Amino acid sequence: MKQQRDVPQDRYYFVGIIFFILGLGTLLPWNFFMTASLYFQGRLNTTGWSNGTVIIGKEYYFNNWMTLLSQLPLLLFTLLNSFLYQRISEMMRIAGSLVFILLLFILTAVLVKVPMKEDRFFSVTMATIWFINSFGAVLQGSLFGLVGILPQKYSSIFMSGQGLAGTFAAIAMLLAIASDTDSETAALGYFITPCVGTLVTLISYLLLPRLEFAQHYLSKSCKYEADTTDELLTESSMVENGKLTGQANGSVIGHSAKGSSEAEAEVEPRSDGTKQAFLPLEQVERPQAKASVKEVFKKIWVMAFCVTFVFTVTLSVFPAVTVDVKTAFPKWERFFISVCCFFIFNIGDWLGRTVTTKIRWPAKESRLFPMLVISRVVFVPLLMLCNVQSRSYLPVFFYHDAAFAAIMTFFSLSSGYFVCLSMSYAPQLVEPKDAETAGALMTFFLALGLSIGAALSFPLRTLV
């Protein structure tokens, strides 16, 4: 009870707001580049006329390459995170990543006004996407570790911020399209928005250590390893010939014994009049060691499979296939993809994640859970049979915009719902001491699913 009274309050919920902003900031890079695919495709469109003949330019497969080069850094830096954590400080990883992301966004905004040949623009854009998502991967992994120190509700707040990042980008794109300015100025305003968002995220992170509530948990985490080491050293110094000794009138100090009711400690008198107790070492309750990665994986492999499969299905068709769907009503063509593809998906994904705070079905032990995750594969052919143009092999089955919007709604809701459930169920399947290992494994399999889905987007788009 005393410990509870010592915990400071999160006044005005400032720490919660900061972690919501940090969650938003981690996924701004990916979402702003993905939502701006129409702008990039416009600059890479080399179709033109020459002597009355239409000349078809080079096909860059921008959405496929953007998806792949966004997710490979996430997978790579998830693998490297264990080394980065040991060698680079938290401040450098988080603040440094935000600074580089800000600089790369500024570069992207500047390039809007710089004339450039298509091949060079494509190469520069792909390099920017690679580096901006590399720093984003370091940022996301570091912030997941940071928010894990705080009470569990702050992890939900952080993930809610991540879920809203796509909606934020989609609204920014809609405003840019709806503005009366020319397309170049609208694109410039669009890319200035994440610059401001990243700057706010950086300032929010720098304010975090100044808040008493955050200080309490951050300092507690820093002391943990030192305290554990001191305890083990103290214990080892008290071990003599396979027995643990204590010196307080025949009682064992500072240690509890397993099975003390069945076997009493041996008590021997000392020359100074006190008594020394000896307890068999096997009866002493020692600090539990963390399970190996292999042991943890055996307990969470179903959830690891689920999060991998969900993102494999999602990224295989979104946005590489869905962004090429054409509307049946030409009057709202310039708004169609921004609304029916990006806005609907991001709202649905965010709602799916949010619903899990109230509804958690099926249970983590249920066999129905992985079956429902696998059933999401039906969305792949459904979206490929929408009015995707151009196409070579498959017929169009769903011409109407409403059909595409309905499929996207269920597609996005199920994606957000099952991802959030998988990520939250995994730590519950292991001992509390192994929750951090489970979280790290799930982050790796999340990245693996994103990368597999991005790779599959190439053949699936070709099959349409």
CATH value at residue 336 = 1.20.1250
Q: Are residues 304 and 267 in the same domain?
A: no
Which H or E run includes 439?
A: helix 435-463
Q: What is the pLDDT of residues 249-302, one digit of tens each?
A: 444 444 444 444 444 455 555 555 555 555 454 555 555 677 888 898 999 999
Which H or E run includes 424?
A: helix 401-425
Identify whether 274 is part of a domain. Answer: yes
Q: What is the pLDDT of residues 88-144, one digit of tens each?
A: 888 898 999 999 999 999 999 999 999 899 899 999 999 999 999 889 888 887 887
Q: What single-letter DSSP state applies at residue 245?
A: E
What span, in angstroms and rounded, lies between the C-alpha atoms of 183 and 107? 18
Averaged pLDDT of the chain: 80
Q: Are residues 253 and 353 in the same domain?
A: no
pLDDT of residue 60: 81
Cβ pair 280, 302 in contact under 8 A = no
Q: Are residues 263 and 202 in the same domain?
A: no
Mean pLDDT of 59-87: 78
Hey, what are 38's tokens?
A: 């129409």
Identify whether 193 is part of a domain. Answer: yes
Closest by Cα among 146, 149, 142, 145 to 224: 149
Q: ∠ CA(175), CA(177), CA(183), 5° rounding? A: 125
Q: Is the pLDDT of residue 49 over 60?
A: no
Q: What is the pLDDT of residues 410-449, one digit of tens each?
A: 999 999 999 988 988 888 888 877 776 777 788 789 889 9
Cβ pair 348, 416 in contact under 8 A = yes
pLDDT of residue 267: 53
Q: Are residues 315 and 448 in the same domain?
A: yes
Q: Are residues 274 and 385 in the same domain?
A: no
- The bridge status of strand 53-55 relative to strand 48-50 is antiparallel
Closest by Cα among 349, 396, 380 to 461: 380
Burial class (CB in 10 A: 0-12, 13-18, 19+), 384: buried
Identify whether 1 is part of a domain. Answer: no
Identify whether 3 is part of a domain. Answer: no
pLDDT of residue 97: 93
Hey, what are 427's tokens?
A: 């730590």
What span, in angstroms and rounded, lies between the C-alpha atoms of 228 and 420? 32
Q: Are residues 87 and 117 in the same domain?
A: yes
Q: Are residues 133 and 229 in the same domain?
A: yes
Q: Which residues face 276 on adjacent strands? A: 268
Range scoring the smallest mean pLDDT among 3-7, 27-31, 176-180, 262-266: 262-266
What span, in angstroms and rounded, lies between the C-alpha atoms of 345 and 175? 18
Top-ranked range on mean pLDDT: pick from 328-332, 369-373, 457-461: 369-373
Backbone angles phi, psi at 76, to 5 degrees: -65, -50
Cβ pair 293, 437 in contact under 8 A = yes
pLDDT of residue 287: 57
What span, in angstroms and rounded, lies between the C-alpha atoms of 310 and 27? 18
Letter for the amino acid at 43?
A: R
Identify whether 420 is part of a domain. Answer: yes
pLDDT of residue 205: 95
Q: Count how many Cα atoms sit within 13 Å of the Cα of residue 409 in the half-sphere of its side chain.
A: 6
What span, in angstroms and rounded, lies between the C-alpha atoms of 13 and 151? 13
Closest by Cα among 34, 12, 315, 322 to 173: 34
pLDDT of residue 195: 94
Domain end: 266, 287, 308, which one? Answer: 287
Q: Are residues 173 and 319 in the same domain?
A: no
Domain end: 253, 271, 287, which one? Answer: 287
What span, in angstroms and rounded, lies between the C-alpha atoms of 415 and 412? 5
Mean pLDDT of 221-226: 49
What span, in angstroms and rounded, lies between the C-alpha atoms of 11 and 223? 24
Give the number of domains in the chain: 3
Q: ∠ CA(34), CA(29), CA(309), 5° rounding? A: 65
Q: Which domain holds residue 126?
A: 9-237
Q: Give the three-class secondary structure for 414.
A: helix
Cβ pair 22, 204 in contact under 8 A = yes
Q: Is the pLDDT of residue 223 over 80?
A: no
Q: Are residues 65 and 36 in the same domain?
A: yes
Identify whether 2 is part of a domain. Answer: no
Q: Count how many Cα atoms sit within 13 Å of the Cα of residue 72 in the half-sphere of its side chain.
A: 12
Q: Are residues 69 and 154 in the same domain?
A: yes
Q: Are residues 203 and 330 in the same domain?
A: no
- How does residue 240 score in pLDDT terms, banded at 50, 70 and 90? very low
> Is the dihedral angle over the CA atoms 431, 433, 438, 439 positive or is it negative?
positive
Burial class (CB in 10 A: 0-12, 13-18, 19+), 405: middle
What span, in angstroms and rounded, lies between the C-alpha atoms of 445 and 426? 12
Identify whether 245 is part of a domain. Answer: yes
Mean pLDDT of 348-376: 91
Domain end: 203, 218, 237, which one? Answer: 237
Identify whether 282 is part of a domain. Answer: yes
- How does residue 186 score in pLDDT terms, banded at 50, 70 and 90? confident
- The pTM of the full predicted model, rounded to 2 decimals, is 0.74
With b for 16 or more beta-carbon neighbours within 10 A and e for fewer, the 115-144 pattern comes to eeeeeebbeebbebbebbbbbbbbbbbbbb
The CATH number linked to 195 is 1.20.1250.20
Q: Are residues 307 and 279 in the same domain?
A: no
Closest by Cα among 25, 142, 135 to 73: 135
